[in-house]
Amino acid sequence: MTHATDATGAAGATAAPGHGRTAVLTGLGTFVPPRVVTNEELSRTMDTSDEWIRTRTGITQRHWADPGTATGDLAVEAGERALKSAGSGEVDLVVLATTTPDHPCPATAPEVASRLGLRGVAAYDVAAVCSGFVYGLASAAGAIAAGIADRVLVIGAETYSTILDPEDRTTSVIFGDGAGAVVLRAGEPTEPGALLGYDLGSDGSLKDLIIVPGGGSRQRSAAAAPGAPEPDRADAYFSMQGKAVFRHAVTRMAASSQAMLDRAGWAADSVDRFVGHQANVRILHAVADQLGMARERTVVNLDRVGNTSAASIPLALADAVAAGQLTPGDRVLMSAFGGGVTWGSTALVWPEITAY
């Protein structure tokens, strides 16, 4: 792994594809809960409107899990479908990217693996918020390159509805629940589906831009101090500084995407599909503009599912396949930005697979 400097001057970790074992995409599966929450429904309970939401985000509806349904439940559904797509239920490792784990302790991945019948395999969570799926891919690919695993199930799953403040229209209208999963196998760098490298980075000085302040050791330790005030109700919920996030997301995703294009040896106008984290349609178009890429090549499905954080890229991939927007041989660039703050990109030539 080398270190490349992005366009903003910050150093980010960039991994090059070697000449040995490479992670190859061989299965794709997704799941969203059946409950659909429209903009009109939200406008009946908070100070917002369909027009306000659509013009600012591009979202018209999202899926929310029913009471009693957790992130692990969605992850199992998507995982089963990805394994079916791959034609085999056997993997050596399960990597689950999520911001909304079933419990603070233990990780959710081991239980998901057990419920999938994958008892005894290694399993762990990745916490990189909306960049989690790209981080998960890089982690899985590292395990394959090192010979630790031959096949890896990577899942991005979220139940953001469980951490949203129902009184905050700036966040509650944006996020949805869902899960997407892929199976990676060991293969050759020249194969269709081979992940061609990664550009990853973070800037922890901006952690307050996207945060759930409560629930962790920092809040618990502060609350234990003599005379400490009662925790604020809002600390249990997700909060985001929207304008600053928009600006940093465009800058970081564009720089990371360009670094990945350079790594792959691709020109921006040679990319058939740009699959960015589905946060806001204006962010996706702004990144495409900065890369000099036609907006029409950007995959957009957030209008139907909202921002599903770590699940958004695999959900967008599956929807693009279903719509005929993504076909074997297409050059695909993926990029994300999330809390931490974190960002990451990867690329591949789309393989011949059936998504479920």
How many residues make up the chain in this entry? 356
| Catalytic residue selected from 39, 280, 301, 307 | 307
Helices 312-322 and 132-145, interaxial angle, to 10°? 90
301 catalytically annotated: no
Residue with tokens 């922890």: 204
CB 347 within 8 A of CB 333: yes
| Catalytic residue selected from 63, 130, 248, 301 | 130
Helices 281-291 and 242-264, interaxial angle, to 10°? 40
CB 20 within 8 A of CB 145: yes
Is beta strand 177-187 parallel, antiparallel or unpaired with respect to 210-211?
A: unpaired
277 catalytically annotated: yes
Cβ-count burial 210-229 (b if 16+ within 10 Å, e if not): bbbbbeeeebeeeeeeeeee
Fill in the DSSP letter of residue 167.
Answer: T
105 catalytically annotated: no
| Catalytic residue selected from 63, 248, 277, 301 | 277
Q: Which helix (H) or strand (E) holds 124?
A: strand 122-126
Which residues are catalytically annotated? Answer: 130, 277, 307
